[in-house]
Amino acid sequence: MIATDRPLAIIAGGGSVPTRVATAAMEAGRPLFVVGIEGEADPGIEGFPHAWVGWGSIGRLERLLAAHGTKDLVLVGNIRLRPDFKRLKPDFGTIKALPEIASILIGGDNSVLTGVIRFMETRGYTIVGAHEIATDLVAELGPVAGRSPREAEMEDARIALEAARTIGELDAGQAAVSSGKHVIALEAAEGTDAMLERVASLKQQGRLRRDGPVGVLAKCAKPQQDLRVDMPTIGPRTVEGVVKAGLAGIAIEARHVMIVDRDEVVKLARDAGIFIVALDLARR
Amino acid sequence: MIATDRPLAIIAGGGSVPTRVATAAMEAGRPLFVVGIEGEADPGIEGFPHAWVGWGSIGRLERLLAAHGTKDLVLVGNIRLRPDFKRLKPDFGTIKALPEIASILIGGDNSVLTGVIRFMETRGYTIVGAHEIATDLVAELGPVAGRSPREAEMEDARIALEAARTIGELDAGQAAVSSGKHVIALEAAEGTDAMLERVASLKQQGRLRRDGPVGVLAKCAKPQQDLRVDMPTIGPRTVEGVVKAGLAGIAIEARHVMIVDRDEVVKLARDAGIFIVALDLARR
């Protein structure tokens, strides 16, 4: 992690990653404050100095951050980007910021996060990536889990990763599957899990080879993705999807893909006999 | 069509296109002979000078072509590229050609057609594209059917066509869907119909906008595709899939995409209120 003792605030959405980041910050001796988003964050954040805020309580959020002298923020965890506005109880800080918030939301999904970052930065905050605090959320170049890939599997890994990069450049998706040196699935709005279900179903229909596990899922970041707040991820569900799809392994872009619940991912990959490797991706 | 009176043979697989090509050749006064592949071709070919041959009867096929003095061949219609070898009754011509046939089949799906073409060309035949005979199988630049696209729809058409070209360069697929200036689906092994079903289901799940028909399906040829024997196609089922997916229209690459059952396609598009346009695609 970054060598600093500036106070850090973690704005925590759902899932296990926020507590993972909090633990890493604590271990590094960094002053820490966790702000759990109500209805999103895991109760595990209560093991750290924390407070809960509701969607739309920007006034309260800013007062909390000011009270802790915190200018460095990690925004991490699953959030529903378009909260149910009927349940919103905006506080005064939110109402003051409403025109800006409205323009963020109107911009559509892709620009929401960019909008949030810009909104916080204009208020003097610095956005820090979760993987800058908990560095093992991403993988360095090389083997990550499970057995070693064979040469033909490495070729599928490279073909799938190249395809994933290409569709990332189209801002369409982050994942692709190659099998037998041929791209057989490309991810767009459906997401990685649904794409893997499709591969499983094509194999069941006999429309793809299925003599033993073959083929590789690759995942990488889009060039326009802000890795501080929006990283491609793999997790236990990804490994399960890959196994059900009869694939041989997973290739992720080194340092650009978050591994959620890494211990479980490693165990699942080993037990299933698949491989996970991190590869470098030359950016065009 | 090409101005020539050289005898033409149509090797006919399934569907309506072979008889469409035969009709166009007849209307142009070209000497014609149709060879129906048993179990594949439509009985409609019996309205033309014809014979039936089974898979694997290459000796008989060559004798038939020689008897008609035919060196120009159209290979058209749906064929199962990997016939059930248990049902094959190879004749002597096939047995002589077996080593070559085996190497064609071992090459995998993509190279099968290339292999067949090379095989026929080394025997002195010329392969002619179905669309060179029945020129209205493809569309010239401009409106093809239905209403006119609006400007935002034309933008989605261009984005989807660009995405389709890009995944074609990966040899992954030929079709893509853009909606709201964003690529939401990319075709690979599942095919266009399954991709459209996916879009329909994403809309049903509320994961995509569905306030009225929006979004465009685009389809184009892969750069490595031999258009004489392997064209991307759209047909009535494509239009139905687009309507079910709640899309506003279809963009096809001018002169590179075959429109199967064009009259029905035009009627379906008009009745459903969608558009079909043919666009030029700058090749890189």
Assess contact for B238 and B217: CB atoms under 8 A: yes
- Inter-chain CB proximity B186 and A190 less than 8 Å: no
Structure tokens at A139: 């993988």
> What is the domain partition of chain A in residue ranges?
8-133, 138-279
Closest to B239 in 3D by CA, of B258, B209, B264: B264
pLDDT band for position A98 (cuts 50, 70, 90):
low
- So what's the ipTM on this one? 0.85
Task: Tell me which CATH homologous superfamily contains domain B138-279.
Answer: LpxI C-terminal catalytic domain (3.40.140.80)
Q: How far is CA B14 from CA B40, B75, B79, B90, in A?
A: 5, 11, 6, 21
Closest to A166 in 3D by CA, of A63, A282, A33, A21: A282
Low-confidence ranges of chain B (pLDDT < 70): 1-3, 80-90, 93-113, 209-210, 284
CA angle centred on B276, ends B270 and B281, rounded to 5°: 170
Gap between the Cα atoms of A161 and A145, Å rounded: 18
Closest residue, chain B, to A160 (C-alpha): B170
Gap between the Cα atoms of B184 and A19, Å rounded: 33
pLDDT at A207 over 50: yes
Please tell me the distance in Å from B101's CA to the nearest CA on chain A: 21
Closest to A218 in 3D by CA, of A203, A236, A232: A232
Higher pLDDT pick, A31 / B230 = A31
Task: Show residues of chain A in contact with B82, CB under 8 Å.
Answer: none
pLDDT at A20 over 90: yes
- Residue B172 contacts A, CB cutoff 8 Å: yes
Assess contact for B212 and A198: CB atoms under 8 A: no
Report the residue from B110, B166, B190 with minimal CB separation from A170: B166
* Residue-level pLDDT at B107: 47
- Residue A162 contacts B, CB cutoff 8 Å: yes
- Inter-chain CB proximity B208 and A189 less than 8 Å: yes
Task: Show residues of chain B in contact with A215, CB under 8 Å.
Answer: none
* Residue-level pLDDT at B61: 87
Over residues A218-265, the pLDDT tens digits come to 999 999 888 998 899 999 999 999 999 999 999 999 999 999 999 999
- Inter-chain CB proximity A186 and B172 less than 8 Å: yes
- Residue B162 contacts A, CB cutoff 8 Å: yes
Structure tokens at A251: 């290739």
Please tell me the distance in Å from A16's CA to the nearest CA on chain B: 24
**Residue-level length of chain A:** 284
Do B138-279 and B8-133 fall under one CATH topology? Answer: no
- Inter-chain CB proximity B180 and A207 less than 8 Å: no
Assess contact for B184 and B246: CB atoms under 8 A: no
Over residues A108-146, the pLDDT tens digits come to 445 566 777 888 899 899 999 999 999 999 999 999 999
Closest residue, chain B, to A179 (C-alpha): B189
Please tell me the distance in Å from A99's CA to the nearest CA on chain B: 23
Over residues A44-87, the pLDDT tens digits come to 999 999 999 987 777 888 899 999 999 999 999 887 655 555 55
- Inter-chain CB proximity A190 and B185 less than 8 Å: yes
Question: What is the torsional sign of CA A14, A16, A17, A18?
Answer: positive
Task: Show residues of chain A in contact with B162, CB under 8 Å.
Answer: 170
- Residue A152 contacts B, CB cutoff 8 Å: no
Over residues A181-192, the pLDDT tens digits come to 999 999 999 999
- Inter-chain CB proximity A190 and B173 less than 8 Å: no
Task: Show residues of chain B in contact with A188, CB under 8 Å.
Answer: 176-177, 183-186
- Residue A221 contacts B, CB cutoff 8 Å: no
Assess contact for B178 and B156: CB atoms under 8 A: yes
Assess contact for A232 and A257: CB atoms under 8 A: yes
Gap between the Cα atoms of B91 and B15, Å rounded: 26
Structure tokens at A128: 């820090």
pLDDT at A101 over 70: no
Closest to A171 in 3D by CA, of B246, B150, B162: B162
- Residue B167 contacts A, CB cutoff 8 Å: yes
Report the residue from A108, A169, A183 with minimal CB separation from B172: A183
Task: Show residues of chain B in contact with A202, CB under 8 Å.
Answer: 189-190
Gap between the Cα atoms of A98 and A90, Å rounded: 9
For chain B positions 265-284, those within 8 Å of chain A (CB to CB) are none
- Inter-chain CB proximity A207 and B198 less than 8 Å: no
Q: How far is CA A197 from CA A52, A153, A251, A258, B13, in A?
A: 37, 20, 18, 21, 32
| Residue ranges in B141-282 assigned as alpha helix (H) | 151-169, 191-204, 236-244, 262-272
CATH architecture of B8-133: 3-Layer(aba) Sandwich (3.40)
- Which of A158, A186, A204, A224 best tests the B interface by mutation, with the highest count of B CBs <10 A? A186
- Residue B223 contacts A, CB cutoff 8 Å: no
* Residue-level pLDDT at B52: 94
- Which of B190, B211, B214, B284 best tests the A interface by mutation, with the highest count of A CBs <10 A? B190
Closest residue, chain A, to B202 (C-alpha): A190
- Inter-chain CB proximity A194 and B198 less than 8 Å: yes
The pTM of this model reads: 0.88
Task: Show residues of chain B in contact with A166, CB under 8 Å.
Answer: 166-167, 169-170
How many CB atoms lie under 10 A from the CB of residue A171? 18
Please tell me the distance in Å from B171's CA to the nearest CA on chain A: 7
- Inter-chain CB proximity B166 and A162 less than 8 Å: no
Q: Cβ contacts of residue B130 below 8 Å, gap of 6+?
A: B17, B18, B21, B74, B76, B137, B231, B258
Please tell me the distance in Å from B164's CA to the nearest CA on chain A: 10
